[in-house]
A and B are shown apart, each in its own frame.
Chain A
Amino acid sequence: MSRARGSKALGAFALERLLNAVPLVIGVIVINFLLVSLAPGDPVTALIGEFPAPPEYVERVRAQYGLDRPVPERMVRYLGSVVRGDLGFSFANRQPVLELVLERLGRTLVLMISTVVLATIVGVVLGVWAARRPHSGVDRGATGFALAGYSIPEFWLGQILILVFAVGLGWLPAGGFRSIRADYVGWAAVVDQARHMILPMLALSFRYMAITTRLTRASLLEVMNSDYILASRARGLSERRVLWEHGLRAAALPIITVIGYNFSFIVAGSALVETVFGWPGVGRLMYDSIFTRDYPVLLGILLIVSIAVILVNLLTDVAYALFDPRVRY
């Protein structure tokens, strides 16, 4: 297969997947919309506030937000405005939803991306280390860690980290995004923000470290007995080089896959961790919006997250295809 033809086919593959995603996104919107609209409780109550409002006032507010229209009509209108890039107006925040979510999205992404990077690096190193000497003490330790990491809930881990490192030892801040007192600038601001990020990042990354460790170990063990590794060894390459260069390249694929397909779990985990640490990201916005019954914001967040999951899955498939020429697309 020539390179040009390959990339063209890959492009077509990606395009096809994107087109396939359109009905999925519509499905997501419809499901979410129905769910939120059919829930008991009247969003107008949250809009009005705590006082005995006369019925005509209630109806005025209802009409103002279009909540007096039947559900199918509202859904069609919503779909229409989503197509135009308008995710609606937040009831509680009196601000466009898109603006509100985008403001928070950056902080969530910072947390998620650094978590994935940390989990990948630590997981791969641990996995390689364990795979080098199967059934050794190191291997057992890494396996034990992987099992524990997969079972400990991240929100509880967050609480324990706060208990130990913030309350007990006083080394790191217990929560928040950055110091408010000292208005750090430049390098100091970066350090300050990093200090605030350490604990949430640890809490969130534990599980993915575990998954990556386990998977790296397993794939490496499989690869290390394959013919071409044996050939490399026969060529007299050092064991270390064989392991890191050849073994890891082969193991990269499953690792990418795992990270890609676990993306929606990272999203959920970050919602929990953001709440524990008061990280002002999308997860917390979602949590707040549930209790203020802010439908438009909830719908917007679900939509954006779902699209992100679709895109990440797509990217994972593309990466898979790029790395592994055997994959047909």
Chain B
Amino acid sequence: MRSFVIVALIALFFAGMASAQAETPTPGGSAIVILGSDPEHLNAAISTGYPIGAVGANLYSALLYLDADGAPHGELAESWTVSDDDLVYTFTLRPANFHDGEPLTSADVVYSMEEVLAPNHGRFLNAYRAVESIEAPDDATVVITLSEPYAPLISLLTVFDAPILPRHVFEGSDPLTNPANQQPIGSGPFRFVEWVRGERVVLERFDDYFLENALLDRLIYRIVPQDVARGVALEVGEADLVWGFYMPTADLDRLDANPDVDVWRGLTIPSLYFVFVNTDTPALSDARVRQALMHAIDREQIVEQAQGGLGEVAAGPFGAGFGYAYDEATDYRTLYPYDPERARELLADAGVGDLSLDFVYDSARGAFAAAAEIMRDNLRQVGITLNVEPVERSVMVERVYGRQYDLSMQSFTSSGDPAIGYHRIYLTAEPGTNFVNATGYGNPEVDALLAEAAGLADQAARAEVYARALEILALDVPTLVMFDELSTQASAANLRGLLTRLDQRDGLEFAWFAQ
């Protein structure tokens, strides 16, 4: 009897050892990551494109990174301090080398930010407006001085918004046409090997990385343009990782049932989908008509069918990502339930009948087409004819931001801070500037409240200011807020160490294959 117990204990001990061993990251192997299209080039400092970011995140490094919960940590920066007036940020750099062996110093940081990022990178440009100066007092120190407090700055110093380029390669050339855009040199955990257009981009582990070396030998980005083939590639072992951005939602249920594939769903970087309403259109200038539209559109059906269940009906104009920018009192789900009867009443109140609206969207966005079909059917129930106009992207931009439309579906993200991506949608703007307020809605009170919120570092204080803005926006509804998109990811079951950063594309140096 006793010997049995001992044997059992020994067996348990070994079983425990074995499982502990299985969880110890082992280096080696090549992971195949799916991209839906070729990156346009590989200079992450001059573009905000998704595939460029996907490769760039592992090829370049930046001052900071955001962990899976969105909290900032130092990457190139060993530490940083912020002055009491929230105007001076001082970063101390770690010793680091570029992939060509040259050291990375504060001069590279200053050069990258001032000469390449500020003129060419969309999101960094927003932060740069608040910047007074960027200085390098010595090789290991960078000082960023702001002209006014700007809370989102920290979220904009990551590899997606401020990757550091080698000054010695770029200086004196046009950063837009430098050959290094095709053969990039970064300082991240992986270095560039080859790029066969239309087929793959290959990176390999950089053994002189300034933090802990990556585990994988190689990172292969495989370009699979037809979305049906991506899930299949995972199933047959021709791929190890597909991000939700490239994953057809229709395939996820099938992949769920496959023991060799892990499917993950969650809210990391909230992407918010809404319909812009052009308030210059006479019928749509009446807030009651916009409220009627909110009641008429079945957002649940859109989430279920157009979005394949990968979303949550949105609660308000800033989405689900930021607790301090949400107020239960103005929750759109309770304010505007699906209610065609109420919609008809509101339309009748406003004296609007027989309305025909042009619904404009970017023809390359397939999911918009499905949502448009549901809205067409929904709006028909309340007597509104939807004339669907998918147009080529640059035409969409001209139409929408030139306010030549009635309704337009759009999706925005606001990585790390609502002030980065969402404020501009509601701030008063002149027609003609792209990617700002396209609804023609303008309210000085909202403008003032949002400006105040952007300067407040304290979240409780910000919540109060936002609540006041939300109250106004909930009644004016310049945008019909639809849903927050759930992020997803499907990966080979033996690929571990994923999702270590806020953005799925980042942090693949921690990925490894279980035996």
Task: Say if the two chains contact directly (CB < 8 Å).
Answer: yes
For residue A53, which residues in chain B have a CB less than 8 angstroms away from its CB? Answer: 122, 125, 434
For residue B436, which residues in chain A have a CB less than 8 angstroms away from its CB? Answer: 52
Determine the interface band of chain B, counting residues with CB < 8 A from chain A. 35 or more
Is A70 among interface residues, defined by CB-CB distance under 8 A? no
**Hey, what's the 0/1 contact readout for A169-185 against B, CB within 8 Å counting as 1?**
01001111111110000
Q: Are B229 and A43 in contact (CB under 8 A)?
A: no
Q: Are A41 and B398 in contact (CB under 8 A)?
A: yes
Question: Please, how many angstroms separate the alpha-carbon atoms of A275 and B181 in the complex?
Answer: 27
Q: Are B199 and A280 in contact (CB under 8 A)?
A: yes
Is A221 among interface residues, defined by CB-CB distance under 8 A? no
- Chain B proximity of A215: nearest CB distance (Å): 33
Question: Please, how many angstroms separate the alpha-carbon atoms of A246 and B433 in the complex?
Answer: 73
Which of A3-11, A262-270, A284-292 lies on the face that meets chain B?
A284-292
Q: Are A41 and B395 in contact (CB under 8 A)?
A: yes
Q: Are A278 and B40 in contact (CB under 8 A)?
A: no
Per CB-CB distance, the 3 closest pairs between chain A and chain B, nearest first, are A51-B122, A280-B198, A41-B394
Q: Are B40 and A180 in contact (CB under 8 A)?
A: no
Contact A45/B434 with A40-B398, A57-B119, A293-B393 known, Cβ cut-off 8 Å: yes
Is B214 among interface residues, defined by CB-CB distance under 8 A? no
Q: Are B435 and A51 in contact (CB under 8 A)?
A: yes
- Chain B proximity of A196: nearest CB distance (Å): 11
Q: Are A166 and B126 in contact (CB under 8 A)?
A: no
Is A92 among interface residues, defined by CB-CB distance under 8 A? yes
Is B329 among interface residues, defined by CB-CB distance under 8 A? no
For residue A104, which residues in chain B have a CB less than 8 angstroms away from its CB? Answer: 197-198
In the complex, the chain B residue whose C-beta lies closest to that of A281 is B198
Question: Please, how many angstroms separate the alpha-carbon atoms of A34 and B391 in the complex?
Answer: 20
- For window 207-232 of B, CB contacts with A under 8 Å fall at 220, 222-226, 228-229, 232
- For window 19-49 of B, CB contacts with A under 8 Å fall at 30, 32, 37-38, 40-41, 47-49
Is B238 among interface residues, defined by CB-CB distance under 8 A? yes
Q: Are A50 and B222 in contact (CB under 8 A)?
A: no
Q: Are B229 and A278 in contact (CB under 8 A)?
A: yes
Could you list some 14 contacts between A and B, CB below 8 A? A45-B434, A51-B434, A51-B435, A52-B424, A52-B435, A94-B41, A95-B41, A176-B229, A176-B233, A180-B238, A275-B226, A284-B198, A292-B40, A293-B393
Contact A95/B49 with A51-B122, A175-B224, A180-B220 known, Cβ cut-off 8 Å: no
Q: Are B41 and A51 in contact (CB under 8 A)?
A: no
Give the residue of B119, B222, B237, B393 whose beta carbon is less than 8 angstroms from that of A45.
B393
Contact A293/B47 with A45-B397, A104-B198, A284-B198 known, Cβ cut-off 8 Å: no
For residue A170, which residues in chain B have a CB less than 8 angstroms away from its CB? Answer: 236
Q: Are A284 and B225 in contact (CB under 8 A)?
A: yes
Q: Are B394 and A45 in contact (CB under 8 A)?
A: yes
Is B494 among interface residues, defined by CB-CB distance under 8 A? no
- Chain A proximity of B455: nearest CB distance (Å): 19
Q: Are A276 and B392 in contact (CB under 8 A)?
A: no
Is A42 among interface residues, defined by CB-CB distance under 8 A? yes
Q: Are B198 and A285 in contact (CB under 8 A)?
A: yes
Is A162 among interface residues, defined by CB-CB distance under 8 A? yes
Give the residue of B123, B125, B232, B237 whose beta carbon is less than 8 angstroms from that of A166.
B232
For residue B176, which residues in chain A have a CB less than 8 angstroms away from its CB? Answer: 64, 94
Q: Are B119 and A46 in contact (CB under 8 A)?
A: no
Most buried by B among A104, A107, A175: A175
Contact A177/B199 with A51-B48, A52-B433 known, Cβ cut-off 8 Å: yes
Q: Are A94 and B177 in contact (CB under 8 A)?
A: yes
Is B428 among interface residues, defined by CB-CB distance under 8 A? no
In the complex, the chain B residue whose C-beta lies closest to that of A103 is B197
Question: Please, how many angstroms separate the alpha-carbon atoms of A45 and B199 in the complex?
Answer: 27
Q: Are A181 and B434 in contact (CB under 8 A)?
A: no
- Chain B proximity of A176: nearest CB distance (Å): 7
Is A277 among interface residues, defined by CB-CB distance under 8 A? yes
Question: Please, how many angstroms separate the alpha-carbon atoms of A122 and B306 in the complex?
Answer: 44
Contact A42/B394 with A93-B40, A94-B177, A175-B229 known, Cβ cut-off 8 Å: yes
Is A100 among interface residues, defined by CB-CB distance under 8 A? yes
Is A49 among interface residues, defined by CB-CB distance under 8 A? yes
Q: Are B394 and A293 in contact (CB under 8 A)?
A: yes
Q: Are B200 and A277 in contact (CB under 8 A)?
A: no
Give the residue of A43, A92, A173, A280 whose beta carbon is less than 8 angstroms from that of B40.
A92
Contact A288/B237 with A53-B434, A94-B176, A94-B181 known, Cβ cut-off 8 Å: no
Is B182 among interface residues, defined by CB-CB distance under 8 A? yes
For residue A89, which residues in chain B have a CB less than 8 angstroms away from its CB? Answer: 177
Is B364 among interface residues, defined by CB-CB distance under 8 A? yes
Determine the interface band of chain A, counting residues with CB < 8 A from chain B. 35 or more
Q: Are A167 and B232 in contact (CB under 8 A)?
A: yes
For residue A64, which residues in chain B have a CB less than 8 angstroms away from its CB? Answer: 176
Most buried by B among A44, A51, A162: A51
Q: Are A46 and B393 in contact (CB under 8 A)?
A: yes
Q: Are B200 and A291 in contact (CB under 8 A)?
A: no
For residue A52, which residues in chain B have a CB less than 8 angstroms away from its CB? Answer: 424, 433-436
**Hey, what's the 0/1 contact readout for B377-409 against A, CB within 8 Å counting as 1?**
000000000000001111101100000000000
Question: Please, how many angstroms separate the alpha-carbon atoms of A69 and B397 in the complex?
Answer: 22
For residue A288, which residues in chain B have a CB less than 8 angstroms away from its CB? Answer: 37-38, 225
Give the residue of B123, B220, B233, B395 whose beta carbon is less than 8 angstroms from that of A40.
B395
Question: Please, how many angstroms separate the alpha-carbon atoms of A76 and B334 in the complex?
Answer: 61
- Chain B proximity of A114: nearest CB distance (Å): 18
For residue B363, which residues in chain A have a CB less than 8 angstroms away from its CB? Answer: 291
Contact A278/B395 with A52-B434, A180-B32 known, Cβ cut-off 8 Å: no
Contact A162/B182 with A52-B424, A92-B40, A280-B197 known, Cβ cut-off 8 Å: no
For residue A166, which residues in chain B have a CB less than 8 angstroms away from its CB? Answer: 232
For residue B394, which residues in chain A have a CB less than 8 angstroms away from its CB? Answer: 41-46, 293
Question: Please, how many angstroms separate the alpha-carbon atoms of A166 and B238 in the complex?
Answer: 13
Question: Please, how many angstroms separate the alpha-carbon atoms of A36 and B118 in the complex?
Answer: 32
Q: Are B398 and A95 in contact (CB under 8 A)?
A: no
Question: Please, how many angstroms separate the alpha-carbon atoms of A284 and B222 in the complex?
Answer: 16
- Chain B proximity of A45: nearest CB distance (Å): 4
Give the residue of B41, B177, B224, B364 whose beta carbon is less than 8 angstroms from that of A278.
B224
Contact A49/B122 with A41-B392, A293-B392 known, Cβ cut-off 8 Å: yes
Q: Are A94 and B40 in contact (CB under 8 A)?
A: yes
In the complex, the chain B residue whose C-beta lies closest to that of A280 is B198
- Chain A proximity of B478: nearest CB distance (Å): 17
- Chain B proximity of A46: nearest CB distance (Å): 5
For residue A178, which residues in chain B have a CB less than 8 angstroms away from its CB? Answer: 199
Q: Are B197 and A174 in contact (CB under 8 A)?
A: no
Give the residue of B197, B199, B239, B393 whose beta carbon is less than 8 angstroms from that of A291.
B393
**Hey, what's the 0/1 contact readout for A283-318 against B, CB within 8 Å counting as 1?**
011001011110000000000000000000000000
- Chain B proximity of A256: nearest CB distance (Å): 32
**Hey, what's the 0/1 contact readout for B233-245 against A, CB within 8 Å counting as 1?**
1001111000000
Question: Please, how many angstroms separate the alpha-carbon atoms of A314 and B415 in the complex?
Answer: 58
- For window 132-147 of A, CB contacts with B under 8 Å fall at none
- Chain A proximity of B416: nearest CB distance (Å): 16
For residue A93, which residues in chain B have a CB less than 8 angstroms away from its CB? Answer: 38, 40-41, 197
- Chain A proximity of B182: nearest CB distance (Å): 7
For residue A276, which residues in chain B have a CB less than 8 angstroms away from its CB? Answer: 226
In the complex, the chain A residue whose C-beta lies closest to that of B362 is A291
For residue A292, which residues in chain B have a CB less than 8 angstroms away from its CB? Answer: 40, 393
In the complex, the chain B residue whose C-beta lies closest to that of A89 is B177
- Chain A proximity of B32: nearest CB distance (Å): 6
- Chain A proximity of B191: nearest CB distance (Å): 18
Most buried by A among B37, B198, B225, B393: B198
For residue A50, which residues in chain B have a CB less than 8 angstroms away from its CB? Answer: 48, 122, 435
